[in-house]
Amino acid sequence: AECCDEHLWRVHFRGWDQPRVLSAGKIATMLSRARYRNRLWIEPFAGEFGCDDGLPLDPWLLGVLIGDGSLAGSSVRFSSADAALVGQVAEKVSPAMVVTAAGGYDYRIAQAGGAHRAGVQGVHANPVKAALEQLGLWNVDAFTKFIPASYLNASRDSRMRLLSGLIDADGWVEKWGSLRLATSSPQLARDVITLIRSLGGAGSFQLKKTTYGYLGEKRQGQDTYVCNLQHADASTFATVDHKRERLAAVRQRQRRLNIVSIEPTRVAPVQCIEVSHPSRLYVTDDFMVTHNTAFAVNIAEHVAATDKKACAIFSLEMSRQQLAQRLLCSRSGVDSHRLRRNMLREDDWPRLHATVGELSEAPLYIDDTPGLTLLQLRAKARRMAARYHIKFIIIDYLQLMSSPGSESRQQEVSELSRGIKAMARDLSLPVVCLSQLNRAAESREGHRPRMSDLRESGSIEQDADVVMMLHREEYYHVNDPSWAEENPEKKGVAEIIIAKQRNGPTGVVELTFDGATTRFNNLARRPGGGGGDY
């Protein structure tokens, strides 16, 4: 993790009665002493997040099918030598489905009454196969298996059951208690590591070269990726008796997240955030905080609340509650910090009351489904267009969407970009799609973004009709009071850089940004000493 010297961490040490909150600079000093070296640790992530909306298959059953199932052909099949596991699969499928022997250790999941229905022409689709097709997992071989994003972003219980299905079907337990899972798919190996870490565990995988004998010759086999998984409560990830008993017989060693070192990386302006949770703890990641969402929400607010035209927001980053709070503060002009901390002033209440009534009548629809795929987006957008007659769509943001089956991240983003473009033309309505930028602007003089900074794919630039980029020079000088004195005209100013426009001019439009209410407004200028809006 990258943080500033003053960033606070809740740190444990075996000689302390309770954890202490220390800055990164203080921890770095302590690590220089042998007493604390490799003996300071932070608590693992509890894994409490996610939503189960729209999961077409039971997570445990999906884990079994990904682990040791055949996801191609005319029928859904899996392999197992454990009769208890076969019985569990039969319980998980719907009453209209049966598990039948297909020879050896292979079993088939089929419809109890067959694929044909009396009085109905054609074949009735297998629900399990249809669910796998919906998830992009049908006609996927052993080398390209993966875990769908909707399941990686599901609730903690669903993620635990998914991992249990993988372990039950294709995992094993070492004599010292470690969980192991082998796969020919590098993407599945990465997804399994993401899965165990999302549950507060630890994991890694390594490439293993395999060999086999043929007619007396030793030949090179397929590459295998062996996942090594650890968790404080590993026994919950095995429901098959012999694996659960082996885990219970071994004392599970708790793996701690020790702080190994703190090293300087770069000099850059930073701005700390305040967490309103009583513990003051939060989960950090590799994303940078910017104001893209604020600008997009301001547009949606104007379209829905002012122009009274139906607008849809697909938010993959923020929940609907967070967006609603941001809309409320932006529209009412109430400081969002005071609202979060329950420190509202007397004059805030009338404004909030009036804004709540105004927004309740606005035709604004928010979908905060995590891990949205392109197919799901198109289906939801079509339904909204037909039912609510939406005239405008916002997607926040492109890099959080997924396109199963892509060979690389660049290809995945390219497919998403083209798909969103096609959706906009198909529905005949404008779509604003937010995208991340890389960090090249931080080292550039002036810090202004360029189209080449668009993250992970150049196809975004090619497909978009209009490319708008946000820039606030003040952001890069937040800790430099002399800059504000020397550049008073730039304080609170945001530039909307129109870098590309197919049917109009390019250039820069200046707005003001109010961080307290996360709102962009028109910038009042005095050209030649006069007044008026600019």
Q: Which active-site residues does the annotation give?
A: 317
Strand partners, 341: none
Asked if residue 397 has a cis previous peptide bond (ω within 30° of 0), the answer is: yes
Q: How far apart are CA 339 and CA 329, in angstroms?
A: 8
DSSP state of 305: I
**CA angle at residue 287 from 284 to 288, to 5 degrees?**
105
Other beta carbons within 10 angstroms of residue 218's beta carbon come to 9
How many residues make up the chain in this entry? 534
Q: How far is CA 94 from the centre of its chain?
A: 30
Q: How far apart are CA 279 and CA 18, in angstroms?
A: 14
Q: Give SS3 for 465.
A: coil
DSSP state of 79: E
**How, if at all, do strands 507-514 and 519-522 pair?**
antiparallel
Orientation angle between helical segments 156-170 and 83-92, nearest 10 degrees: 140
Residue whose token pair is 């990258």: 2
Q: How many CA atoms lie within 13 A of 253 on its CB side?
A: 10
Secondary element (H or E) of residue 382: helix 374-388
Q: How far apart are CA 202 and CA 231, in angstroms?
A: 6
Q: How far apart are CA 275 and CA 31, in angstroms?
A: 27
Three-state SS across 172-212? EECCCCCEEEEECCHHHHHHHHHHHHHCCCEEEEEEECCEE
